[in-house]
Structure 1
Amino acid sequence: MSALTLESVSVSRGAGPVISDVTLTVESGSVTALVGPNGAGKTSLLESISGVIGTSAGSINLDGKPIGKLSRVRRARAGIVHIEQGRAVFPSLTVLENLRLTARSQREVDEAIALFPELEKRIASATGLLSGGEQQMVVLARAFASKPRFLLIDEMSLGLAPVVFMRLLPIVDRLRENGVGVLLVEQFTHLALSIARDALVVASGRVTYQGPAAELQNSPEILRHAYLGTPPPPRETA
């Protein structure tokens, strides 16, 4: 099974570290939710994986091979695709033209449209005329058309109403079913946890929880302490 692995990764910006000592494995066909308060270092961690910024310590590996010295372009060619914050579409281009930017053949365009059938009726429309939710679908479809092995998604819900975001979550789950490993940074914590197998909570630049997403989803108390960076309450014993 393919895997994206971080070992004791730290990232610094300016005067000091923004996130420290992160060890994480994202397997193909799985979703890992990366959650935490604003300013915790989540975006910086994703940027270090995709090569936007460098790491200050630790290693990033793809199928056991170090990729920390590869450029962002070479990491993308290796299958690590990063959807950054905001809807990065080309508004003057049609939906079809946006998809063709990353697809290597018409087959890949057709497969992306099949995964996002809502876009089929808008295929010839300028992307700038679409709703926010539709534009985010274009971003996801364009990423899928590039045949990613691992998809890093940073705040997909940014600027969207929760009801619109809930329409996008099943699409991410379908990407997982297609064998893509997903690392999902999301402000709507419980919605992200609902489709994730694993979860990582970071607060004040360090990991405060790492384990099953279901445990966080089912225990508001553990989640609250993870966000605050304080020890969780002791488990009750029989």
Structure 2
Amino acid sequence: MTALRVSGLTVSRGAGAVIRDVSVELAPGRITALVGPNGAGKTSLLEAMSGVIPAAHGSVHIGQTEITKHSRVARSRLGLAHIEQGRAVFGGLTVLENLRLTARTRTRVDEVLELFPELDKRRDSAAALLSGGEQQMVVLARAFAARPAFLLIDEMSLGLAPVVFTRLLPVITRFAEEGAAILLVEQFTHLALGVAQDAMVVSSGRVTYTGSARTLLDFPDTLHSAYLGEA
């Protein structure tokens, strides 16, 4: 099965490195929770993986294909999608029109709307008129409609109540069950770890833990130490 592999990735912003020598592998059908304190470099890592910013050192592969120098568009064509922070909906378009931007078939649009019955009821509404939670559903649904093999999700719950985010988690789980490899960055750490099989903690730009997500849930001291960069 094809995996996405990051090897020795270093990312620089301004005068210094914000991510140093990070390696991770995303396997099909698995969710990896990427957690750590604010400013640890999690967003920069995702941006380097998807091609938003260049990596200073290291490599990114999809299967046997190195994509380190590929543009974001080229990476997307190889099945890599990135949901960035914020709700990047096209406000002047309806929910249905937003989904049609990425869905290849009408059948896929219908499948996605089954996952989000809230959106199905508002399919003809302009996205700008939706609530924050509904707009985040549009962003997630649009990504699912494209059927990416690899999905990077950065702080999907930003600005949302925990109850709204909890509603979205089963959809992410289902997408992984369909074969996607997912890297989930989330402020609600325990909720993210609860749906993930694997976990990685980043502190001060370095990986301080890789392993089972369940271990971090069952042993809070391990999670605390990893956040402090002591694991």
Structure 2 length-normalised TM: 0.98
Residue pair 1:40, 1:205 contacting (<8 A) in 2 also: yes
Does the 8 A contact of 1:5 with 1:64 survive in 2?
no
**Whole-Å separation in 2 of the counterparts to 1:94 and 1:181:** 29
CA deviation after TM superposition for structure 1 residue 105, in Å: 2.1
Deviation sequence 1:81-140 (CA, Å, 0-9, x none): 000001110112110010011112212212211222221111111111111111111111
Cα shift at 1:172? 0.6
Q: Mind listing any 5+ residue stretches in structure 2 that lack a counterpart?
A: none
8 Å CA contact retained: 1:99, 1:138: yes
Shift of 1:176: 0.5
Q: Does 1:2 align with 2:2?
A: yes
Per-residue deviation, 1:4: 0.5
Matching residue of 1:100: 100
Any idea what SS the aligned residue of 2:47 has?
Answer: helix
CA distance in 2, matches of 1:115, 1:178: 13
Q: Is 2:180 the counterpart of 1:184?
A: no
Counterpart residue number, 2:83: 83
Distance 2:185 2:216 in 1: 15
Q: What CA RMSD, in Å, does the superposition of the two structures yield over aligned residues?
A: 0.9
Larger deviation, residues 115-124 vs 204-213: 115-124
Equivalent residue of 2:109, what SS?
helix
The answer as to whether partners of 1:4 and 1:26 remain within 8 angstroms in 2 is yes
- Shift, 1:182, TM fit: 0.4
SS at match of 1:107: helix
Matches within 5 A, 1:206-217: 206-217=206-217
Per the TM alignment, residue 65 of structure 1 is displaced from its structure 2 partner at its CA by: 1.5
**Cα distance between partner residues in 1 of 2:80 and 2:115:** 20
- Number of equivalences: 231
> Could you say which residue in structure 2 is the equivalent of 1:18?
18
Deviations 1:138-189 (A, max 9, x none): 1111001111000000000000011111111111101111111100001110
Shift of 1:192: 0.2
Q: 2:124 is aligned with what amino acid? A: A
Name 1:42's counterpart in structure 2: 42
TM-score when normalising by structure 1: 0.95
Tell me the percent identity. Answer: 65
